[in-house]
Amino acid sequence: MTAFIDARPMITALRTAPEDFRMSGKWLNHEPSQHNFQFDPDGHVSIQAACNCAMFAILPEQEGALRVAYRKWHEEYWMPMQLNLEFASHFPPRSPARRMLIRLTARLHAWLVRPPLHEHISTDIAAAGSAKSLT
């Protein structure tokens, strides 16, 4: 006689706590419990666990609902998260050394394009002289 596990808590967890699950190859891992689940092409679920849960099977009438919950989790949570992580990897933060070099380069550029102090003085004197000649 085969003993069965009620999969309703897992189905609920896939929906309400999707962040507790991750894929590891073809296995779905529930990180808090370290239980692993694999769905075969026929819709049956295999369980790997360090506890006695691995000796049991999912209730046959719940395998379909579990598979649907898994597919929904995979399509709506896991795949978008993986795509976002891949996209974010294209824009890595700059290293502290690179940020420092960019700041130093910007300061050097600002210093190089600033007119010398004597140009400010001569420009101010010339502007003052032309203002007096206009009056």
Whole-prediction pTM value?
Answer: 0.66
Judgement on whether residues 26 and 78 belong to the same structural domain of the protein: yes
Q: Which domain holds residue 129?
A: 96-134
Long-range own/partner contacts, residues 35-38 (CB < 8 A, 24 or more apart): 37/10, 37/70
**pLDDT tens track for 50-93:** 888 888 889 989 999 999 999 999 999 999 999 999 999 898 88
- Number of domains present in the structure of the chain: 2
DSSP 8-state secondary structure symbol assigned to residue 18:
G
Identify the top-confidence range among 7-21, 31-45, 82-96.
7-21
Backbone angles phi, psi at 106, to 5 degrees: -65, -40
More confident: 126 or 64: 64
Judgement on whether residues 122 and 77 belong to the same structural domain of the protein: no
Mean per-residue pLDDT of the chain:
86
Judgement on whether residues 117 and 85 belong to the same structural domain of the protein: no
Residue 44 has a pLDDT of: 87
Residue 27 has a pLDDT of: 95
Judgement on whether residues 36 and 57 belong to the same structural domain of the protein: yes
